[in-house]
Structure 1
Amino acid sequence: MIFVSHVLPVNEEGLTRLSREQVWLGLVMKANNALPFVASMTDCVVTDRRSDTVFDRDIVLRGQPHTERITLQEPVRVVFTRIAGPVLGTIANEIEGTDDDLRLRFSFALVVSDVEPGSAEESRYAEGMTADYLKAVASTLAAVRRTADESIAAA
């Protein structure tokens, strides 16, 4: 099983400051359509809205199809539970810290089918997944920042 957790600052010096609400809305946007945020994802379709806070989506990631159940735990956490596909487990995006020191944590606990636990192949998968998520977090924050900048410019 692969366990990874990283925390990244939301508000870096010289960039438009984002509020907790703005970051939350960005995470919800990514949960509904991750294509603009995850370069290694080529398809993302919501297939079943179970409630306002739980829905399923089919994705193609690195050429492999998966089904994920998304749970929105407003205003702090989005949980992606892989329920079908070659990689099963849970991915979480969490907003942490105070308004003056917001951070975004992404964590995942995944099992890659047909891969020996602790093997070099599993390590390579974990490294690729971590790199993909670092890029996805950066692109999510950048998209939220663009929206915030556009709002400021329009005011």
Structure 2
Amino acid sequence: MNFEHLIQINDPLNPLVETLTREQLWEGLVLRAEQPQLFVLGLDSCTILSRTDHTLERELHYGHATVRDHVTLTPNESVRYVIRATEAHVGGSLTMTIEQPDEVQLFLRFQYETTLPTPDTEDARQTSEIVKSAYRESDIDTVRLIRQYAVQNPKEPGALH
């Protein structure tokens, strides 16, 4: 199952929405990669097993379940998570890409690719829609938390770390 959606970060037509810079959004995405327990409900802890300038190997602990993933950071552009499939867990990937069509507008694109089969029955389609809705809600929450951190640490380079 593949799924993609876009969240508008800056809305020039809505003055009530706090404007974020591309750098603030990027810092928030890095924070989510390095400290996912701040963003992911049910995640007990995260151990970073290895790190390079642009990658992380992580072990995520959800109660008794453990998931390993590989994170690739393309500075100020995108973060890609690749989750290894196991007998107990679905594998796949999530890519979050910053899109900035002009100086004012800013978007975050979420692209999911999973090993879940394409739904071919009504029950499978309903399950697929539930999964997509959960992804969407989680992504909206991620953006909300990034905004919260940016507001708490305005215009300080590296403030989200």
Tell me: CA distance 1:17–1:63, structure 2 relative to 1, closer, same or farther (3 Å).
farther
In structure 2, give the amino acid aligned to 1:78. V
- The gaps in structure 2 that reach 5 residues or longer are 155-161
Q: Deviation per CA, 1:87-116: give whole Å up to 9, x if none.
A: 11221011012331111100111103xxx5
Q: Tell me if structure 1 keeps the 8 A contact 2:85–2:91.
A: yes
1:99 correspondence with 2:100: no
Tell me: CA distance 1:148–1:91, structure 2 relative to 1, closer, same or farther (3 Å).
closer
Match of 2:60 in 1: 59
2:56 & 2:73 partners in 1: Cα distance? 9
Runs of 4+ in 1 over 6 A off after TM superposition: none
What secondary structure sits across from 1:87 in the alignment? coil
Match of 2:10 in 1: 11
Q: Tell me if structure 2 keeps the 8 A contact 1:77–1:93.
A: yes
Q: Tell me if structure 2 keeps the 8 A contact 1:70–1:78.
A: yes
In structure 1, give the amino acid aligned to 2:48. T
Residues 18-97 of structure 1 correspond to what in structure 2 (within 5 A)? 18-39=20-41, 41-60=42-61, 65-85=66-86, 86-97=89-100
- More strand by proportion, 1 or 2? 1
Percent of matched pairs sharing the same residue? 23
Q: Deviation per CA, 1:65-95: give whole Å up to 9, x if none.
A: 4211000011111000112432112210110
How far residue 151 of structure 1 moved from its aligned partner, in angstroms, is 3.7
> Normalising to structure 2: TM-score of the pair?
0.76
2:32 & 2:39 partners in 1: Cα distance? 7
Match of 2:157 in 1: none
How far residue 125 of structure 1 moved from its aligned partner, in angstroms, is 4.8
What secondary structure sits across from 2:58 in the alignment? strand
Tell me: CA distance 1:68–1:44, structure 2 relative to 1, closer, same or farther (3 Å).
farther
Q: Tell me if structure 2 keeps the 8 A contact 1:42–1:63.
A: no
Tell me: CA distance 1:84–1:56, structure 2 relative to 1, closer, same or farther (3 Å).
farther
Which residue of 136, 139, 143 maps to 1:137?
139
